[in-house]
Structure formats: structure tokens, C-alpha cells
Amino acid sequence: MIELTRLTKKFGDLVAVDDLSLTIARGEFFAMLGPNAAGKTTTIKMLTGLIKPTSGTAALAGFDVQRQPLEARRRLAYVPDFPFLYDKLTPWEFLRFTGQLFHLDEARIQANGRDLIARFHLQEFAHRPLEGLSHGTRQRTAIISALLHDPEVFIIDEPMVGLDPQHARIVKDVLKERSRAGVTVLVSTHQLEIAEEMADRIGIIHNGKLIAVGTRDELRRQSGRTGQIEEVFLALTAAADAPAARPLEPSPHSESGDDSPSPQGRGPG
């Protein structure tokens, strides 16, 4: 359902995403982890068609994002870490506006919209201007607007930003329900507990490269750690930062003919 093939993005001399390939299946809940400036958001922006890759391809539901953008976007929902909302609209008006962009008929907008508003506890805010609502309420509005057209692929960057524990639980439950119903869910986050609790597989991006991908147990085996995902994540990113070993060179011959290797037999970091 999501296919990235040798995806690369350069900004001048900076390689933000470096030859990244990844397949995420239909109905899979996939968590993308990585330190700040690892390349997660750049990858998502290429996947959603917001920026063009330097090389490589991205496809959604079998449609190339660059060559078939409308077909890909019809099947996509994307909630960025700081979603843009029209402040003068109410949540209900923004919901209807979004539905019309996806050419939903009024009956479907009404039915889906009312179900989502109730599920996310937005009834008392549905007809108040967005400019006066809290960050968490605006985040819930962005999420239900993205879910309105029943996307096949749902991508969200930092889903729990601004949400209290009650509404964070609702978001987790709804996204997991959607993935079980066949929606491909891709979550990019710094909150490792989301990956620990919810993801079918986890990918770790570091310095623009996909350094590890697998289930929680597969990543534990790869890292040599048996603890929580935080420990696994730190071990894998530290290993990626470690200087690569190079063949040891003999030290210069001393008068005693000592051929022991130099203590500086490893390259600099």
C-alpha cells in the first residue's frame, strides 16, 4: 500500500534522505522513529507529494505520487505536526469543506461527520470558530477531517501533540481500528511508547538512512537489547553513529622488532 524505492532528497550538499526503500502493507500500522533532523518529515513530504524527490519513487495504493498525483491523493489522508486550519470556520464547516474537496455527497459528509464528531467528543465545539479553540481541539478537528473520506492510507506526524490522555487514547483506538479494517497507517513520532504499544512494525531513520526495520522483537534481536523500545532505539542509533572499523595497521618497527598494532587502529568518528 506504501512503496518507497531508493528515495533520495538533497538540499544542496545536504542529503536529507539517502536511498531509502520501504514497503508498508495494506492494513499495517507502521511507526517511523528517528532523532531530530533524521529525515522523517522530509520522507513524509515526498510520500505525500508536497516535495519532489531528487531521485527514487514513492507510491500509494499502487499509484506513483509524482506521475499520478490525483489518484494517489484520493486515497490518502495526511495530518502534519502543525496542521493548517481556517480559523474563521467552525469545526463543522471545516469538516464539510474537506468533504467537498474529496467530492463526497452531502449525505456521506453528514453521516461520517456526525459519527466522528461524537467519537472525538467535539459536539460542544462543533459550531464555535476554530480561532478560539485549544490546540488539542484543533488537533482533533484536523484528525477527523482527515478521516472523513475513509482514506486507504493515513499518515500522521506527531499524532498526540496537544492532546490530553483521554483524547490521546481515542486517537490510538481509532487508528488501530482503521488499520485492522485494512487502512495502512503510518505514524511519525518521537513518542516511543506509541511505537511500543501500537505498531505492527517499526522503522528507525537516522541521518537520512533507514537503519533498522522490523517488529519489536526483531529490533530487539538486531540491537542485542531485551528491554523497552527506548533502549533498543538508543542502541541502534548509537551503533549507526559508531566509527566504522578499518583494518589494523602495524606500528612502525621498533628496534625490538615489535609488530603489535597501533593503539590508533580505529578511524576517527
Pair (66, 139) in one structural domain: no
The reported pLDDT for the residue numbered 244 is: 53
The reported pLDDT for the residue numbered 82 is: 86
Report residue 152: phi and psi, to 5°.
-85, -25
Query: Which stretches within the chain are classed as H helix?
Result: 40-47, 69-74, 91-101, 106-119, 135-147, 165-180, 192-198, 216-223, 229-241
Task: State how beta strands 184-188 and 29-33 pair.
Answer: parallel
Pair (214, 98) in one structural domain: no
Pair (228, 132) in one structural domain: no
Question: Residue 50 and residue 44: Cα distance in Å, rounded?
Answer: 9
Pair (162, 65) in one structural domain: yes
Q: Which domain holds residue 142?
A: 85-150
Pair (100, 65) in one structural domain: no
- Identify the domain boundary among 127, 150, 173: 150
The CATH number linked to 223 is: 3.40.50.300
The DSSP output letter for 169 is H
Pair (71, 110) in one structural domain: no
| Residue 15 is assigned to a structural domain of this protein | yes
The structural domain count of the chain equals 2
- Identify the domain boundary among 150, 174, 197: 150
**Tens digit of pLDDT at every position of the chain (269 positions):** 999 999 999 999 999 999 999 999 999 999 999 999 999 999 999 999 999 999 999 999 999 999 999 999 999 999 998 889 999 999 999 999 999 999 999 999 999 999 999 999 999 999 999 999 999 999 999 999 999 999 999 999 988 888 999 999 999 999 999 999 999 999 999 889 899 999 999 999 999 999 999 999 999 999 999 989 999 999 999 999 886 534 444 444 444 444 444 444 434 33
